[in-house]
Amino acid sequence: MPLVSPKEMFKKAYGKYAIGAFNVNNMEILQGVIEAAKEERAPVILQISAGARKYAKQIYLIKLIEAALEDAPDIPIAVHLDHGDSFELCKAVIDAGFNSVMIDGSHLPFEENVKLTRQVVEYAHPRGVVVEGELGRLVGVEEHVVVDEREAVFTDPDKAVEFVERTGVDSLAISIGTSHGAYKFKGEPRLDFERLQEIAKRLPGFPLVLHGASSVLQDLVEKANKYGAKIVGAQGVPEEMIRKATIMGICKVNIDTDLRLAFTATIREVLATKPEEFDPRKYLGPAREAIKEVVKHKMRNVLGCSGQA
């Protein structure tokens, strides 16, 4: 199957379930994600960050993904640039065959974000590529933070409507309290569901995206720590909150940290329990299996996209 546009995936999913967007950095992670999608019969978005591109070289990732398309001909797959930070980067990956890009102008003043995002949309759309924009900043917001500070970083529903209208984006990443990485909350986890509801109400049927959506699964943290990691005070978004968001207009859920934890915890376990082992396949193989298991769990129990391929 050729690449499938996230736009089509989101149309089917809106209000019912979400598509998982999983960060891919090497062959084992990709194979773990693809095996999960095959076994769950779930559509999937493979996303590549600027960092992944630099680490693996874009051409290697593209060739691996071409292999995945042949290996999983019945599964809808999209290839997406995660956190594009310039027009040039977006153009480069569009020219290389990605069918979806994110331009992240969320750190820019509103007008500049609109201008940059619009520029990417104007290049992408005639080439059949869809664009995700971002409005609002993804920073850890602590419990005690005053309302003014929250307002400064969370997505303003009025601005979201204006941003979508003026840029022509196909989906929008919003800030409602999630953040990247393994340390998302100091106190009780809390997302601003009222804000999500308001944004979804003002942009009916329009696909919203949740970044920083890993749950920092505690069994993975414990396994990593048991075998020598020092991951202390890590906390993610509870899975029931992600599930709730998927029926409120969130169509794409970005997950990287949980994959990193699964991969690393498993490698640590093998190296610690089999110190005589030095064949990389003996620890990368189980790590790939761990990716598959965590992705299957997300698809089936959190995102609700199993069986939707």
Ligand X SMILES: O=C(CO)COP(=O)(O)O
Ligand Y SMILES: O=C[C@H](O)COP(=O)(O)O
> Which active-site residues does the annotation give?
82
Q: Interacting stretch for ligand Y, rule CB under 6 A, among 45-53, 72-80, 125-133, 268-276? A: 45-53
181 binds ligand X (CB under 6 A): yes
**Rule CB under 6 A: is residue 255 a binding residue for ligand X?**
yes
Task: Tell whether 257 is in a known binding site.
Answer: yes
Cα–Cα nearest to 115, from 167, 78, 79: 167
Cβ–Cβ under 8 Å, residues 41 and 306: yes
Q: Please, what is the minimum distance in Å from the beta carbon of residue 1 to Zn ion?
A: 26
SS in 3 state form for 207-226?
CEEECCCCCCCHHHHHHHHH
Q: How far is the CB of 37 from ligand Y (least distance, A)?
A: 19
Torsion over CA: 291, 255, 16, 68 (sign) = negative
Scan residues 213-272 and list those touching ligand Y (CB under 6 A): 256
Cα 172 to the center of its chain, rounded Å: 13
Q: Is 212 in the site for ligand X (CB under 6 A)?
A: yes
- Residues 186-225 touching Zn ion, rule: CB under 5 A, are 211
In the bound state, the residue with its beta carbon closest to ligand Y is 51
What is the secondary structure of 25-90 as a DSSP string? Answer: -SHHHHHHHHHHHHHHT--EEEEEEHHHHHHH-HHHHHHHHHHHHHH-TTS-EEEEEEEE-SHHHH
Segment holding 35, helix H or strand E: helix 27-40
Tell me how far, at minimum, the Cβ of 178 lies from Zn ion, in Å: 9
Provide the token pair at 254: 């970005």
Please indicate if the annotation marks 212 as binding a ligand. yes
Q: 167 among the known binding-site residues? A: no
Interface with Zn ion includes 31 (CB under 5 A)? no
**Annotation-wise, does 214 bind a ligand?**
yes
| Closer residue to Zn ion, CB minimum distance, 85 or 239 | 85
22: closest CA among 60, 59, 65?
65
The b/e string for 7-17 (b: 16+ C-beta within 10 A; e otherwise) is bebbeebbeeb
Give the x-and-dash track for 70-89 against ligand Y (CB under 6 A): ------------xx------
Whose Cβ is closer to ligand X: residue 71's or residue 240's?
A: 240
Which does residue 214 touch among ligand Y, Zn ion, ligand X, none (CB within 5 to 8 A, set by kind)?
ligand X
Candidates 44-52, 200-208, 240-248, 263-271: pick the segment binding ligand Y (CB under 6 A).
Answer: 44-52
Q: Which of 211, 223, 252, 268 touches ligand X by CB under 6 A?
A: 211
Asked whether residue 256 is marked as a ligand-binding residue, the answer is yes
> What single string gives the DSSP state of each residue in 184-215?
--SSS----HHHHHHHHHHSTT--EEE-S---
Binding-site residues, please?
83, 104, 134, 180-181, 211-214, 254-257
Sites of contact with ligand X (CB under 6 A): 23, 82-83, 180-181, 211-214, 254-257
